[in-house]
């Protein structure tokens, strides 16, 4: 009997999260977010990489991150223009157009958090929130890559994953805080912790299965196979975003006031 009572709480919580996921059309939201990431966010990162200091570009970082070689490495290089080519063709007008297009990605992510937490959509004047998120995301990419490499060299994979989780927590706390703009960060912390933990697990799993998937896709389908692999990975990341938002929203409904009160006392 005690076992049933102990299990009832987690089971009810899981059902609430499942209902919220269905209510916000979580699968559709994740699909839209991943598509927006592929068509706008990745090109934005390619351009941002061209302006960043150093010689490496997006393709170099992907090849190095997942230890690709052969057809997979060549296909990744072909999919993303190299740094010199991007620098020679980029114009300020194209940058502005790309940033505006990338705002569709931030809008899709903002919609996920708004629906999960029951926040009314903001006005068009809130576009600056998307721009602020893009700036913060670019800084986070640079900081996380640098710190993860440093700690992996010092303490191995376990420490690197731990640091990645902490850095991810900063990103997933920053994301709904800036995109919603109406909620106390302490109410958003549980969802950020869930998202950071899931993202760290995904990063660890990706290091194992993604190189195999990319090698197989490149051998079988060539360049389009690499694109399919990246798109499937982005879809998985999008589900992490949706699940983190859903779990965080449900936790906030039941424990948000208590969390705020505890932190204020502390």
Give the per-residue pLDDT at 144: 67
Give the per-residue pLDDT at 261: 65
* Tens digit of each residue's pLDDT (9 = 90 or more) over 31-66: 999 998 888 877 777 776 666 555 556 666 677 666
Burial class (CB in 10 A: 0-12, 13-18, 19+), 2: exposed
DSSP reduced 3-state for 86: helix
Residue 237 pLDDT grade (very low, low, confident, very high; cuts 50, 70, 90): very high
* Tens digit of each residue's pLDDT (9 = 90 or more) over 123-146: 766 778 888 888 888 777 777 666
Q: What are phi and psi of 80, to 5 degrees?
A: -110, 125
Give dist(CA 81, CA 59) in Å, integer: 8
Give the per-residue pLDDT at 187: 87
* Tens digit of each residue's pLDDT (9 = 90 or more) over 175-207: 999 998 878 888 898 889 989 888 888 888 887
Predicted structure pTM score: 0.81
Give the per-residue pLDDT at 34: 93
Whether 71 and 216 have beta carbons less than 8 Å apart is answered as: no
Give the per-residue pLDDT at 183: 82
Q: What are phi and psi of 54, to 5 degrees?
A: 105, 170
pLDDT(115) > 90: yes
The Cα-based distances of 167 to 31, 111, 140 in angstroms read: 25, 24, 8
Residue with tokens 């919609």: 111
Angle subtended at Cα 149 by Cα 178 and Cα 229, rounded to the nearest 5 degrees = 70
Counting residues of the chain whose pLDDT is more than 70, the rounded percentage is 68
Q: Which helix (H) or strand (E) holds 113?
A: helix 92-117
Side-chain half-sphere CA neighbours of 264 within 13 A: 9
Give the per-residue pLDDT at 21: 95
* Tens digit of each residue's pLDDT (9 = 90 or more) over 207-226: 788 888 888 887 887 778 88
Q: What value does the mean pLDDT take over residues 102-106?
A: 87
Whether 226 and 58 have beta carbons less than 8 Å apart is answered as: no
SS (H, E, C) 166-224: HHHHHHHHHHHHHHHCCCCHHHHHHHHHHHHHHHHHHHHHHHHHHHHHHHHHHHHHCHH
Q: Of 238 and 61, which is predicted with more confidence?
A: 238
Q: What value does the mean pLDDT take over residues 70-85?
A: 67
Give the per-residue pLDDT at 3: 42
* Tens digit of each residue's pLDDT (9 = 90 or more) over 22-38: 999 999 999 999 998 88
Whether 50 and 58 have beta carbons less than 8 Å apart is answered as: no
How is residue 123 annotated by DSSP?
A: -
**Which of 57, 59, 64 minimizes the C-alpha distance to 87?**
57
Q: What value does the mean pLDDT take over residues 101-121?
A: 89
Q: What value does the mean pLDDT take over residues 228-235?
A: 88
Q: Of 78 and 169, which is predicted with more confidence?
A: 169
How is residue 126 annotated by DSSP?
A: G
Give dist(CA 202, CA 63) in Å, integer: 18
């Amino acid at each position: 009997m005690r076992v049933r009572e102990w299990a009832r709480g987690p089971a009810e919580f899981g059902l609430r999260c499942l209902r919220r996921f269905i209510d916000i059309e979580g699968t559709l939201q994740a699909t839209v977010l991943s598509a927006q990431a592929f068509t706008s966010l990745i090109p934005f990162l390619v351009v941002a990489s061209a302006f960043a200091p150093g010689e490496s570009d997006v393709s170099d970082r992907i090849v190095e991150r997942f230890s690709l070689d052969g057809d997979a490495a060549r296909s990744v290089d072909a999919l993303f223009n190299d740094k010199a080519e991007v620098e020679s063709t980029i114009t300020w007008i194209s940058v502005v157009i790309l940033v505006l297009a990338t705002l569709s990605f931030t809008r899709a992510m903002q919609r996920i958090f708004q629906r999960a937490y029951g926040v009314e959509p903001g006005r068009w004047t809130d576009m600056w929130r998307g721009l602020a998120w893009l700036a913060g995301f670019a800084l986070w990419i640079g900081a996380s890559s640098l710190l993860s490499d440093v700690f992996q060299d010092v303490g191995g994979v376990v420490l690197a994953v731990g640091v990645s989780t902490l850095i991810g927590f900063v990103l997933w706390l920053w994301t709904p805080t800036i995109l919603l703009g109406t909620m106390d960060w302490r109410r958003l912390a549980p969802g950020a912790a869930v998202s950071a933990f899931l993202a760290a697990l995904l990063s660890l799993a990706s290091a194992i299965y993604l190189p195999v998937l990319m090698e197989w896709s490149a051998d079988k389908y060539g360049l389009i196979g690499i694109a399919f692999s990246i798109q499937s990975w982005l879809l998985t990341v999008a589900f992490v975003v949706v699940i983190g938002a859903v779990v965080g929203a449900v936790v906030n409904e039941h424990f948000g006031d208590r969390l705020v009160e505890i932190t204020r006392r502390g």
